[in-house]
Amino acid sequence: MQELIKITEQNGKQAVSARELHKFLEITERFGSWCDRMFSYGFIEGTDYHGCKFFNTLANQELTDYALSIDCAKEISMLQRSEKGKQARKYFIECEKKLKSKELDFSNPDTVLKLAQNWKQEVDRRIEAEKVIEQQKPLVTFAEALQISEHNILVGELAKILNQNGIDIGQNRLFDWLRSNRYLMSHGEQRNLPTQKGLDLKLFQIKTRTINNANGSVRVTKTTKVTPKGQKYFINKFLKVANKEENQKNFDFY
């Protein structure tokens, strides 16, 4: 194919001199004003074109030129609405086709190596994506379950959510587990109230209720509630154990 307009490499990409394009298109308008008018059609400096300067020995002065991307050069050629513009646009399209066919030349060892590297990178990306999906499975399940538990809930309600997600545990067993793992107190009047550990992690809140008895005395009751953060914490904790032991018939959380 005959070279109508020189195409060079700029920062690893093909580029066309705006001055050479201006000359080929036989534009009579002054180069500077023509460029300003063309760029006003929405072309972006730094993306579609880059300004540069060179010293013209014939004119004995420094001149401005622009490195145009192939897409930019094609569109500018089309904007001229002339035979030269059509010719230039067709030429750039053919140059792109030639470049693509060259890139996919399987007889070229470099092309085969590049394709193999791209394939390996794609496989690696897919493997990493699958790992992330696998790691996030408990979080996805939690998000679905949490639709009914946006606020603080009772421990019994948390047990129901765990059951909905395949964890075989009831309210009493869950209380036992929380006490055994020191999230809740085990003895005395503080039994089933959050430990300092549970409060520091913001897994629980204590709901205090004052009751006026018939004899005039006042009784204060305290109820442990699981916060949204606590729900997420415990559901993910149980599901991770379940995922690791999914081949076992019974899950032992103690």
Each residue of 88-121: pLDDT tens digit?
999 999 888 877 665 545 566 665 576 667 667 7
Which residue intervals of 146-223 are DSSP H helices? 155-164, 171-180, 196-200
Query: What is the torsional sign of CA 21, 22, 25, 26?
Result: negative
Domain ranges of the chain: 7-103, 145-244
Pairing label, strands 13-17, 49-56: unpaired
pLDDT, average across residues 115-130: 70
* pTM across the whole model: 0.41
Torsional sign, CA 57, 59, 60, 65:
negative
- Tell me the sheet residues that pair with 154: 225
234 or 245: whose pLDDT is higher? 234
Q: Residue 34 CA to chain centroid, in angstroms? A: 41
| pLDDT for residue 136 is more than 80 | no
Q: Mean pLDDT over residues 17-46, rounded?
A: 92
Q: 15-24, 56-65, 72-81, 170-179: lowest mean pLDDT where?
A: 56-65
Instruction: Tell whether the model's pLDDT for residue 248 goes beyond 50.
Output: no
Task: Pinpoint the alpha helices (H) of the chain.
Answer: 18-24, 31-39, 70-79, 83-103, 109-145, 155-164, 171-180, 196-200, 228-244
Q: What is the pLDDT of residues 145-154, one digit of tens each?
A: 444 456 899 9
pLDDT (mean) for 128-134: 67
- Residues 209-238 have a mean pLDDT of 88
Q: Phi then psi for 217, rounded to 5 degrees?
A: -80, 165
pLDDT, tens digit, for every residue of 4-22?
888 887 566 788 999 999 9
Burial code (b: 16+ CB inside 10 Å, e: under 16) for 166-198 equals: ebebeeeebbbbbbeeebbbeeeeeeebbbeeb
